[in-house]
Amino acid sequence: MEGLLRLFCLPSTGIAALFFVSVLFVTNMLKPIKESQEKQSRFIAAASHELRSPLSVICANNSAIASVTNDSQKFIEGIDKECKRMARLINDMLILASADAKSWEIKKEPVETDTLLIETYEAFLPLCLQKDHSLSLELPEEALPAIISDKERLKQVLLILLDNALAYSPNNKDIILRSYTNNHFLYLEVQDHGVGIADKDKKLIFDRFYRIDPSRNEKQHFGLGLSIAKEIIQLLGGKLTVRDTEGGGATFSIRIHIPS
């Protein structure tokens, strides 16, 4: 009790000094953590670059073998599939390492929203048809407003969300790509009718390498796509959220401010 009274009787200069020492202590405690994170990001970037070269050689040699002989075709196709899977992981790791290093290049310019959505729809439709899924594009009758953003980055995010919907939707289930406006915001959405996402997973689904329940797991997905999508949207000044689809499934929604 006596020590507590002494603390309250400290002059203002003493309190300021105590506060400064506390801040300095916390800063010094956090410094190794920050340095460790930076080292981890540098390692991921370096390792990913190093892995790219041998992977390219493996893929090239596998393609050459496939063109010469039909023997062991099943094994060759398996190698090719895993090469593409590994290439995807390496690319995702490089993207996130760039985000950590704050070296992502963002080119903001006027983007015609209708054109962006039509191009994305046409790019993804063949893959949907190949996997016995239908893809619908829902646009309002009036032209959507143009926005100031990075068209290629936005398309990258939409393709990530569409790929995610395709992976976790049963066959013959419709996937919807839509856009609409509300107040001063433009919304870009991808809706699936799959197994849905539990409330406890919604809070974590954008975390790196987070994998939810086994019924939504799929070999080609490492838990990085949604994390990349959220990083990009944040860099573009937007917001990415997820909600339940009525009747089952998940709807991912991008919100972007419409310039006045």
CATH number of 110-257: 3.30.565.10
Classify residue 72 as left (phi > 0), alpha (psi -120 to 50) or beta. left
Give the pLDDT mean for 152-159.
91
Phi then psi for residue 196, to 5 deg, are 80, 175
> Cβ(139)–Cβ(114) under 8 Å?
yes
Whether residue 218 has pLDDT greater than 60: no
Please tell me which residue, 208 or 225, carries the higher pLDDT value.
225
- Quote the pLDDT of residue 136: 95
80's tokens: 């090719």
What pLDDT is stored for residue 245 in this prediction? 84
| pLDDT digit string, tens, across residues 19-33 | 444 545 555 555 554
> Strand ranges (DSSP E) for the chain?
109-111, 134-138, 147-149, 174-182, 185-191, 239-244, 250-257
What pLDDT is recorded for position 217?
A: 47
- The encoded tokens of residue 6 equal 């002494």
pLDDT (tens digit, 9 = 90+) per residue, 66-117? 665 566 676 676 677 667 666 666 666 666 666 665 666 788 999 999 999 9
Three-state secondary-structure class, residue 203: coil
Task: Check residue 43 and give its pLDDT.
Answer: 53
Q: Name the 3-class secondary structure at 174.
A: strand
Closest CA to 166 of 116, 210, 112, 220: 220
Structure tokens at 181: 């406006």
The tokens for 240 are 């990415």
How far is Cα 206 from Cα 210, in angstroms, rounded to an integer? 7
Determine contact, residues 208/232, Cβ cutoff 8 Å: no
Q: Answer whether 145's CB lies under 8 Å from 113's CB.
A: yes
Contact assessment for residue 201 and residue 212, using Cβ atoms and an 8 Å cutoff: yes
| Domain extents in the chain | 12-100, 110-257
pLDDT at 197 over 90: no
Region 163-175 average pLDDT: 84
85/117 Cα distance (integer angstroms): 27
Domain 12-100 and domain 110-257 have a common topology = no
12-100: CATH number: 1.10.287.130
CA 55 → CA 126, 157, 224, distances in Å?
Answer: 27, 25, 20
Q: What is the pLDDT of residue 173?
A: 81
